[in-house]
Amino acid sequence: MRKIIAAGNWKMNGSRTMTATLINTIKGGLAKDCNCEVLICPSFGYLSLACGLLAGSPIKLGAQNISTEASGAHTGEISGDMLVDLGCTHVLVGHSERRALYGETSEIVAVKFEEAQLVGLTPVLCLGETLEQREAGETEKVVEQQLQTVIGRVGIDAFERSVLAYEPVWAIGTGQTATPDQAQKVHAFLRRTIAAQNGSIADSLRILYGGSVNGSNAAELFAMLDVDGGLVGGASLKGDQFLDICAAA
C-alpha cells in the first residue's frame, strides 16, 4: 500500500509573514488521523524559518531546486548539503518551469537527481509533456525520454529513494486539470516503464499528479490506481484549499 503524498510547491511566492501564517494554518488544521505524507516546498529564503515552524510536526520540508555542484564558485546557487543544513528532506528536480524558463535539460535534471541523493535528500522528479506534444501523440515518448535519461545516469535502484511527479505542462497554473483517466493512463505507463526494469521498485514508487489540483478535484484524482498524491502549486498557497487536498488523500 503506497502512502499518499500531498506536496505544496509554493514557487516564488511568499513572505516571512505568509510563511508563518500558512504553516500554522496547515499544522493546526491537519487532521490527527491524516494518514498522508505532507510536504511543503517554500522558496529558498524561507526554508530556515519554515524549518523552525515545522519542528515537532510530521510535515516535511522540501526545496524547489538544487545545484548540480557540491560547493564552490557558483554564485547564486544552493547545494544539496545546504538544503540538508536548512532542514530539507526533499527537493523538486526537473519542474517544467525550470526546464522551460531556465534551460534545464534532462541531462542536467539527472545530475540534480544524483546530487540530491548523494546528500540524502529525496528527489521529486517532475515529468510532463506540453500541449503541442500531447496533441502530436507524443506524451509517452516525452515522459519516457525524461525518465530514461535519469535512469541512465543513476540506475534503476536509485528510484527506491525517490518520488515521481507527472505534471502535464498544459495543466500547470491553467485551471485545466487532466481528467482522472488522462492522469491514470500516463501514471500507469510510467509505472510499467519502471516495472520493466525493477518490479518491486515500481510497486512501491509514489507517482504524484500535478497541474491545477485543488480541494474539489483532488479526491477523484487520488482515487485512481496509480495516482499516489499531488504536487500542488496555486492551491497550496491557500491554507483551507491545501487542507482539503490533504483530507482528500
Residues found near ligand PGA in the complex (CB under 6 A): 9, 167, 172-173, 210-213, 231-235
DSSP letter string, 157-183: GGGGG-EEEE--GGGTTTS-PPPHHHH
Shorter beta-carbon distance to ligand PGA: residue 39 or 172 = 172
Q: Is 74 a catalytic residue?
A: no
Q: CA–CA separation, 154 vs 37, rounded Å?
A: 25
Give the shortest CB-33-to-ligand PGA separation in angstroms.
26
Residue 184 neighbours by CB distance under 10 Å? 18
Give the shortest CB-176-to-ligand PGA separation in angstroms.
9
Matching residue, cell 495543466:
171
Given the residues 114, 115, 167, 187, the one annotated as active site: 167
Give the shortest CB-212-to-ligand PGA separation in angstroms.
4
Give the shortest CB-183-to-ligand PGA separation in angstroms.
13
Q: Is 135 a catalytic residue?
A: no
CA nearest 190: which of 226, 138, 161?
226
For 208, the enclosing helix (H) or strand (E) is strand 206-210
Shorter beta-carbon distance to ligand PGA: residue 121 or 235 = 235
Shorter beta-carbon distance to ligand PGA: residue 127 or 231 = 231
Give the shortest CB-70-to-ligand PGA separation in angstroms.
26
Q: CA–CA separation, 187 vs 105, rounded Å?
A: 22
Shorter beta-carbon distance to ligand PGA: residue 202 or 233 = 233
In the bound state, the residue with its beta carbon closest to ligand PGA is 233
Shorter beta-carbon distance to ligand PGA: residue 6 or 235 = 235
Contact 47, 10 (CB under 8 A): no
Give the shortest CB-195-to-ligand PGA separation in angstroms.
25
Q: CA–CA separation, 173 vs 249, rounded Å?
A: 21
Tell me the CA distances in angstroms from 209 to 54, 72, 171, 196, 218, one per residue in order: 25, 35, 10, 21, 10
Shorter beta-carbon distance to ligand PGA: residue 123 or 234 = 234
Contact 91, 65 (CB under 8 A): yes
- For residue 14, give the amino acid letter: G
Q: CA–CA separation, 90 vs 144, rounded Å?
A: 23
Given the residues 37, 95, 104, 115, the one annotated as active site: 95
Positions marked active-site:
95, 167
